[in-house]
Amino acid sequence: MPQLAANLSMLFTELPFLDRFDAAAKAGFRAVEFLFPYDHPAGDVAHRLKINGLQLVLHNLPAGDWAAGERGIACHPDRTQAFADGVRRAIDYARVLGTPRINCLAGIRPAGVDPALAQATLVANLRLAAGALKAEGIPLLLEPINRFDIPGFFVTHTAQALALIDEVGSDNLFLQYDIYHAQRMEGELGATLRAQIGRIGHVQLADNPGRHEPGTGEINYRYLFALLDELGYRGHVGCEYKPRQAGPGGTEAGLGWIAAHGLALA
């Protein structure tokens, strides 16, 4: 049975970030993930994990100025020093939080930058990050993002991400497989999981359309959960969805999908 992790950047969002750890534990989650911890001292985040008995399973490298619309800087030729600084910052946090894996967002290709230059920059940055994280015993992940939610995102398909991983040539770089993004861009979810499970370092979910809870859209999650078990996937599945019921209590109101799919949090 897949182990579920609450994504605290998407769930319980009516609460301040640090209070979401308490809410996740109260709802029954035993693991969490989030986009970024960097707006809070690492010690404060670690304290919330500890007092709630929560396991952290994932966060991202710093991704530039998120509020200004940046969605990663790994493919930006003029931001290589900022990327390297971000890797060091992520490692500093990981040492305190015990982060077991870190994801890299490739980013939106800057206007006027040749795709070949963006790819060369991304490969070099991934090689640097994979090596630095390997020295810490932390796998690096690369995640394709659908172009509808983030127009212009540089890595949008599983095959593209795997080709980049091959070009980097590191044994410390894996695919982050977000089922929602994959459904929007390519489908073939079960076939891809069967073919690539050995290269997948983490799985995330949301249904489509709407990016809400499993069971609200077209994806057959009962089949996919059974398939993950069949394939021997032992990692967590990050619940990176937007609760269909917006507002306070919306996350808790939507958690019935877990039992409905034959799963449990404990």
Mean pLDDT for the chain? 98
Residue 73 is assigned to a structural domain of this protein: yes
What is the rounded CA–CA span in Å between residue 16 and residue 228?
A: 33
Residue 72 is assigned to a structural domain of this protein: yes
Please state the rounded mean pLDDT for residues 214-238.
Answer: 98
Can 240 be counted among the known catalytic residues? yes
The 8-class DSSP code of residue 250 comes to H
Please state the rounded mean pLDDT for residues 33-57.
Answer: 98
Per the residue annotation, which of 14, 33, 136, 143 is the catalytic one? Answer: 143
Q: Give residue 75's domain range.
A: 3-260
How many Cα neighbours within 13 Å face the side chain of 217? 19
CATH number at residue 109: 3.20.20.150
Tens digit of each residue's pLDDT (9 = 90 or more) over 117-161: 999 999 999 999 999 999 999 999 999 999 999 999 999 999 999
Residue 266 is assigned to a structural domain of this protein: no
Whether 266 has a pLDDT exceeding 80, the answer reads no
Residue 232 is assigned to a structural domain of this protein: yes
Can 143 be counted among the known catalytic residues? yes
- Cβ-Cβ contacts under 8 Å for 113 (sequence gap 6 or more): 75, 76, 77
Residue 51 is assigned to a structural domain of this protein: yes
What is the rounded CA–CA span in Å between residue 71 and residue 65?
A: 8
Per the residue annotation, which of 33, 186, 218, 240 is the catalytic one? Answer: 240
Tens digit of each residue's pLDDT (9 = 90 or more) over 20-38: 999 999 999 999 999 999 9
Whether 203 has a pLDDT exceeding 80, the answer reads yes
Calculate ∠ Cα 180-185-188, nearest 5°.
Answer: 80
Residue 169 is assigned to a structural domain of this protein: yes
Find out whether 168 and 119 touch, Cβ atoms under 8 Å.
Answer: no
Residue 25 is assigned to a structural domain of this protein: yes
Tens digit of each residue's pLDDT (9 = 90 or more) over 89-115: 999 999 999 999 999 999 999 999 999
Q: How far apart are the first and last CA of the chain?
A: 11
Total domain count, the chain: 1
